[in-house]
Structure 1
Amino acid sequence: MLALLEHMYNELGVVSEFNINPLTLKRWLLSIQANYRNNPFHNFRHCFCVAQMMYGILYLCGLNNDFSREELGILLTAAVCHDLDHPGYSNSYQINARTELAIRYNDISPLENHHCAVAFSILNNPELNIFANVNQEVFRRIRQFKMVLIKCCDISNEVRPLSVSEPWVDCLLEEYFNQSDREKLEGLPVAPFMDREKVTKPSAQIGFIKFVLIPMFQTVASVYPIIDELMVTQLKSALERYEKMLAEEEETKRNLQMNEAD
């Protein structure tokens, strides 16, 4: 994964644009890897998947030719760094449990602020600063640049083949259930979509795909139609699969209830 990330930076022309020392890039990527925790979902493999999806969309939509090398570097770096040092527990947990992160950031997006702070803390080390040769004006834009593409890539697992996407759903649910179990032990509010006693794989995914993923990717597809063909179609197929799975679950549940009644 490290070698592939290094290739992405070179292939997009980011290394030459920012005059990045190849050794600094290697050290920076190793530091990034070290600053992702071993969570079921929010881990370095997730970081790589988001970066790989960003790289793929940039080429798929021809954005590698439309965007400046500076913008490409910002997008790829944002994808790589977007969940740095994620503790495996959501913002709601941080706030309700009054964690050190929530206190530090006054309950305002504690995780997002922390990811960003860790990213720039790494860059603050001269041996790890891949932007050392970038002027201050460009560096300021790097800190502010945000796009819907980053969010699409972050939640893009369902546009991938079933053999890839389904294990990621299992990992995410494991992380959710770990949080809800802890919230119950600590007497904190539990989000229904994280409660292992209320959530199944299809029930978790149907609403997410229907009301979040499809509208978001359709927005991108309105500008880049190839996204509709390759990704929105896959999302609709995934939605149908989970709806069928949910119907089967409900049928099984009804049959069990009827048998118990007899």
Structure 2
Amino acid sequence: MDSRTEQSSDPPSNVPAPKGNQHRTQIPEGTREALKRPTFNVLGMERPQMLSLLEHMFYQLDLVATFKMEPETLRCFLSSVQEHYQENPFHNFHHGFSVAQMLYCVISQCQLQERLLPSDTLAMMVAALCHDLDHPGLSNSYQVNAQTDLAKRYNYNSPLENHHWAVTLRILSQEKSNLLVNVAPEQLPHIQQEIMELILATDMVHHGKILQSLQHIETLSFSNREHVTALKKTLIKLCDISNEARPADQAEVWADSLMEEYFLQSDREKAEGLPVTPYMDRDRVRKADAQSSFITFLLLPLCEALCQHLPQLSDSLLQPLRAAKLRYQQQMDKEMGQAERQDM
């Protein structure tokens, strides 16, 4: 049976917000289990539901107890994160939640909570949730070509990712939303640095280097900090771009949303006389071709490298990605056949 259709993953519409230690009984068992699978459907969820489930994840990963988080501080942090996501077609709070949920899924399936340091898990979860905070819906290439204030502020070097981290740090600097307030003083700079580096790793310009760093590891050792760093960066990158590993009906919606955001940017680039980002050009890009190439050249190599060390992900992520690639290739063949018949 296809693991992506094994069980309905649509979350209930009435998930209540957990309070304190009551979270375990307030999230239905079916939802708690669905949350650990890539089939979980975030599309159409209301914000209170997502906040409730994020709170549940932090409890389940033992982050609240380990880092002595006050329940109200956690809720304020999550609410502040949600408020700092813009209403873009793709880069919005639903995307931030979906990346955090996919990471939670991977941690759960691979029992990484038992193999990583608690600070590693905390840094990854915060980075996954916050990695696109205040995203304006316009890429780094636009920021640089348009010479925006954001690009100038960060010397044209990963302006978006640096901004996402700056907003994250701003939230963590507020007393009411400081998730790290009870972290040991000697540990705090390390955790902040980890979060920053993971957010910066989501810039696609680092894709090749991060992929190679994991590919060069023959046997992953969780006692080797260089190995762990390579693993964490690969994980957050994979979770960030993993929508095609979700069921086809969900993946289609995510792809359409991303295309819409891309096309809006290319329209703006043309209107402003800026270089048009090739993979965003409304007049040239075809979804099936674009997604097939993205899966083939970026997503599959990343997932395959990860599965060498975390084989538990082969069925839940790698096989669905291969199926998605085949689906898009078949769609391309169909479109090509239709075009040929029209030319006859």
The two structures have a TM-score, normalised by structure 1, of: 0.96
Shift of 1:59: 0.8
Range 12-21 or range 248-257, more displaced: 248-257
Kindly indicate whether the alpha-carbon contact (under 8 Å) linking 1:41 and 1:172 is maintained by their aligned counterparts in 2: yes
Shift of 1:250: 1.2
Q: Equivalent of 2:127, from 49, 67, 78?
A: 78
Deviations 1:126-179 (A, max 9, x none): 111010011233222222223211111000101111121110000000000000
Range 33-42 or range 139-148, more displaced: 139-148
Q: Equivalent of 1:5, from 29, 54, 74?
A: 54
Distance 2:241 2:185 in 1: 32
Shift of 1:200: 1.2
The size of the alignment, in residue pairs, is 258
Q: Which residue type is aligned with residue 132 of structure 1?
A: V
Please give the residue correspondences for 1:1-262 in structure 2 after superposition, counting only pairs within 5 Å: 1-145=50-194, 146=198, 147-258=233-344
Distance 1:86 1:75 in 2: 19
Deviations 1:201-252 (A, max 9, x none): 1011011100111100011100011212221111110000000101111111
Other-structure match for 2:12: none
Deviations 1:57-115 (A, max 9, x none): 00111101111222111111110110000000000000001111001111010000000
Unpaired segments of 5 or more residues in structure 2? Answer: 1-49, 199-232
Q: Which residue type is aligned with residue 66 of structure 1?
A: R
Range 236-245 or range 132-141, more displaced: 132-141
Q: Secondary structure of the equivalent of 1:137?
A: coil
Kindly indicate whether the alpha-carbon contact (under 8 Å) linking 1:17 and 1:70 is maintained by their aligned counterparts in 2: no
Kindly indicate whether the alpha-carbon contact (under 8 Å) linking 1:42 and 1:83 is maintained by their aligned counterparts in 2: yes
Q: Which residue type is aligned with residue 133 of structure 1?
A: N
Shift of 1:257: 2.0
Q: Which residue type is aligned with residue 156 of structure 1?
A: S
Kindly indicate whether the alpha-carbon contact (under 8 Å) linking 1:158 and 1:165 is maintained by their aligned counterparts in 2: yes
Please list every run of at least 4 consecutive aligned residues from structure 1 whose deviation after the TM superposition is greater than 3 angstroms: none
Q: Which residue type is aligned with residue 238 of structure 1?
A: A
Other-structure match for 2:47: none
Q: Which residue type is aligned with residue 105 of structure 1?
A: Y
Distance 1:18 1:174 in 2: 40
Q: Superposition RMSD on alpha carbons, in Å?
A: 0.9
Distance 1:199 1:105 in 2: 30
| Matched-pair identity in % | 47
Unpaired segments of 5 or more residues in structure 1? Answer: none
Kindly indicate whether the alpha-carbon contact (under 8 Å) linking 1:51 and 1:80 is maintained by their aligned counterparts in 2: yes
